[in-house]
Amino acid sequence: MLISQNSYNQKRYPSILILDFGSQYSELIARRIREANVFSTVISHLTSSDEIKDINPDGIILSGGPSSVYENHAPSCDNEIFNLDIPVLGICYGMQLMVRQLGGEVTPAKNKAEYGRAPLSIDDNSSLLNKVKNKSIMWMSHGDSIDQLPIDFCKIAYTENTSHAAIANYKKNLFGVQFHPEVVHSEYGLTVIKNFLYDICKCKADWNTETFIEEAIPRIREQVGNKKVLLALSGGVDSSTLAFLLHKAIGDQLVCMFIDQGFMRKGEPEFLMNFFDEKFHIRVEYINSRERFIRKLDGVTDPEKKRKIIGTEFIRVFEEESKRLGPFDYLAQGTLYPDVIESAGTNIDPKTGERIAVKIKSHHNVGGLPKDLQFKLVEPLRKLFKDEVRMVGKKLGLPDEIVRRHPFPGPGLAIRILGAVSSEKLNCLRDADWIVRDEIKKAGLYNKIWQAFAVLLPVKTVGVMGDKRTYAWPIVLRCVSSEDGMTADWSKIPYEILEKISNRIVNEVEQVNRVVLDITSKPPGTIEWE
């Protein structure tokens, strides 16, 4: 069985199953479904029709994927899925796979591949495309197209380059779309998803933040039993929400440890200890390891090496301190869906089936973890996106200053200093970063922007200050807007705010004589520079 009973509450089966064919957007589909208050889960494309029948979902979604359906060894699914009398929606690769497995033909696109925005022309909006405006923009990303439809299928929409942009088999409730309704760039994408959920699958909108908390708490208790749990507390919304959730579930079995590696933003270590330990009485052990981390990074310029050194040293401190405070069987992490999707890999304990911390994307959480790590992972948030975590945190009683805190990478300012890290550069960047956030807050923009921060470049530029020639560091201003961290656009900050930030930085921060603005979206760029 590819899905264990422990992967979701035994009394609640997912209404929608998403078969994953290797798309980075599979979990984004799940997110959109949860936005519609419907419980869903992502499973392997190898899941058999018998297993799906046992779960008895209201609907099935076939995800996109990087392969071509006609290639050797291209991922496929059990053909009997289409005979279960359960509605199916294929998205991009999922649609092409359904067409091919049911007797149709898929070939390389005859005209040209289609990537990006495309106006959708609708032939039939009776069900799947109900209330979708004709000529509305949908997001395309494909190099193949349908050449011939299977029996009983019909075309219900097209674009200039794609003759079968949406298809339907009304007899068996099988549908397909070539576009990606799950991405925000598709104007009526969520409408398409809701049509499938409510009108076709008859799903109930009965899953929300309260439901997640109610179901997460008994799962945590079942997983850890009476064992102690050590939490890597950073003060960000992820680990903070996790701390509140774990404390609600297991109380004093939870021990939080804040390792001050010297890479935090200005004033954050002091705020963290006061908030959790003194105000909410959640036990936090403060470990001052600033000098230790700086020594380890001495002369290191490669960003991946920096991440791995920080991650390894981080967990070594955990191991050392856990011997004093423990023993601990479990390490809690605020891992989220984007972390899991972008991770380099995971490792499963064959005896327990639990995920263990061996290799996680190196700039997330405690990345670069050594292979001899002894902790098992507790990750109750790993199926949520950032904004969903904020909602959970709010529901658990976290104040806005935590819930609305901008995301901050595990290695902190160390990966916002390109090249070698030093105490001098850290102090410089810390001051510049504080000014950025201070002015953004004063302008009332803090909660409207996903992240606003400063980056220190490993070069020096010529400037003139006080009639004297200077040779100092430039600061890069990075402000981005995003819903989920998977994609992002640069934030259009008013010029007068940018001017204030620039003036303050060059006047108040030593060894800085230039401020520049990063206007790159994700993709092609990333949010962080390293």
Residues 268-284: pLDDT tens digits?
898 888 888 778 888 89
Q: Which of 284-293, 349-358, 482-491 has the highest mean pLDDT?
A: 284-293
363 is an active site residue: no
| pLDDT of the residue at 402 | 86
CATH class, 5-200 region: alpha beta
User: Rounded mean pLDDT of 455-479?
Assistant: 91
Question: pLDDT tens for residues 409-457?
Answer: 888 999 999 999 999 999 999 999 999 999 999 999 998 999 999 999 9
Confidence of residue 493 (pLDDT cuts 50, 70, 90): very high
| pLDDT value for 172 | 95
The residue extents of the domains of the chain are: 5-200, 209-402, 416-518
pLDDT of residue 4: 34
Amino acid 7: pLDDT: 40
3-class secondary structure, 512 = strand
Please determine, for residue 343, whether its predicted confidence score (pLDDT) is greater than 70: no
Which residue out of 45, 180, 247, 363 is catalytically annotated?
Answer: 180
Q: Cα separations (Å) of 512 from 264, 353, 461, 474? A: 20, 51, 9, 6
pLDDT band at 6 (very low <50, low <70, confident <90, very high): very low
Sign of the CA dihedral running 199, 202, 206, 209: negative
Residue 307: phi and psi, rounded to 5, are -60, -45
* pLDDT band of 385, cuts 50, 70, 90: confident
> What is the C-alpha to C-alpha distance for residues 243 and 251, in angstroms, rounded to an integer?
10
Task: Indicate the pLDDT class of residue 99, thresholds 50, 70 and 90.
Answer: very high
Q: What is the three-state SS of 224-275?
A: HCCCCEEEECCCCHHHHHHHHHHHHHHHHHEEEEEEECCCCCCCHHHHHHHH
- What was the pLDDT predicted at 255? 92
> Average pLDDT over the chain, rounded to whole?
86
Query: Among residues 27, 45, 142, 182, which one is catalytic?
Result: 182
Does 416-518 match 5-200 at the fold level?
no
Verify whether residue 182 is a known catalytic residue: yes
Q: Tell me, what DSSP letter sits at residue 79?
A: G
From CA 31, how far away is CA 504, in angstroms rounded? Answer: 40
Distance CA 12, CA 202 (A): 16
pLDDT of residue 351: 41
Query: DSSP string of 430-497?
Result: HHHHHHHHHHHHHTT-GGG-SEEEEEE-S--EEEEETTEEEEEEEEEEEEEE-SSSSSBEE----HHH
Helices 423-442 and 495-508 sit at what angle, rounded to 10 degrees?
150
More confident residue, 366 or 243: 243
- Given the residues 27, 45, 77, 92, the one annotated as active site: 92
What's the pLDDT score for residue 9?
39
Q: What is the pLDDT of residue 361?
A: 38
Q: With a cut of 70, say whether residue 356 has pLDDT above it.
A: no
Q: Does residue 254 have a pLDDT over 70?
A: yes
CA-CA distances (angstroms) from residue 500 to 225, 505, 508?
53, 9, 12
Confidence of residue 384 (pLDDT cuts 50, 70, 90): confident
CB atoms within 10 A of CB 42: 21
Q: Categorize the per-residue pLDDT at 206 as very low, low, confident or very high, splitting at 50, 70 and 90.
A: confident
Kindly state the tokens that stand for 525.
């760029």
| pLDDT score of 369 more than 70 | no
Three-state DSSP string of 83-128: HCCCCEEEECHHHHHHHHHCCCEEEECCCCCEEEEEEEEECCCCCC
User: Is a pLDDT exceeding 80 seen at residue 362?
Assistant: no
Q: Supply φ then ψ for residue 332, to 5 degrees.
A: -90, 135
pLDDT at 484: 67
Mean pLDDT of 314-340: 81
Q: Give the model's confidence band at 88: pLDDT under 50 very low, under 70 low, under 90 confident, else very high.
A: very high
pTM summary value: 0.67
What CATH number was assigned to the domain covering residues 209-402?
A: 3.40.50.620
Q: Which residue, 287, 272, 255, 528, is CA-closest to 411?
A: 528
Give Cα separations from 394 to 10, 388, 488 (angstroms).
26, 10, 24
CATH topology (fold) of 416-518: GMP Synthetase; Chain A, domain 3 (3.30.300)
The residue assigned the tokens 């930085």 is 505
